Structure 1
Amino acid sequence: MAKTNPGQLMKEFRQELSKVTWPTRKETLVTTGMVFVMVTLTATFFFLVDLVLNQGVKLVLGLGG
């Protein structure tokens, strides 16, 4: 692997950084909101599955009230 001096490295770094497309504030807020919605839906789903499985195990093992 060829060695690059620090000046060349910084030049290449700036070139690559200029190619980055940064999201707008609106895009960031929308995607953040979607993440919160999906996390909430997923947590609710697994809570309900856990509740059903818990009741099923209690019923099978005769521990239910």
Structure 2
Amino acid sequence: MARTVNPLKFIQEVRGEVAKVVWPTRREVVLTTIMVFIMAALTAVFFALVDILIRAGLQGVLTFFG
């Protein structure tokens, strides 16, 4: 069964919900952005080290059996 939606009521409800949103402060945005960049850098370093270790291990195994 199809419902008819009143566009004006919908817009009023959307405005009411948006008014409830707690927007972050500029300081919070800056700090979380910095934390994201730090975590991305740490993750990149971790996976680079894992890649180097796996590559060295495989080269060692292939050299031993090659």
TM-score (norm 1): 0.91
Aligned residues: 63
Q: CA deviation at 1:3?
A: 2.5
Aligned: 1:43 with 2:51: no
User: Sequence identity of aligned pairs in percent?
Assistant: 46
Whose relative contact order is higher, 1 or 2, with alpha carbons under 8 Å and at least 6 apart? 1
User: Where does residue 32 of structure 2 map in the other structure?
Assistant: 31
Match of residue 57 from structure 1: 58
1:35 counterpart letter in structure 2: V
State the AA in 2 paired with 1:31.
T
1:4 aligns with 2:11: no
Unmatched runs of 5 consecutive residues or more in structure 1: none
Distance in structure 1 (CA, Å) of the matches to 2:37 and 2:4: 45
Question: Which secondary structure does the structure 2 equivalent of 1:3 belong to?
Answer: coil
The reply on whether 1:15 has 2:16 as its aligned counterpart is yes
Show structure 2 runs of 5+ residues with no match: none
1:3-33 superposed Cα distances (whole Å, 9 cap, x missing partner)? 3211001000100000000000000000000
Structure 1 or 2: larger helix share? 2
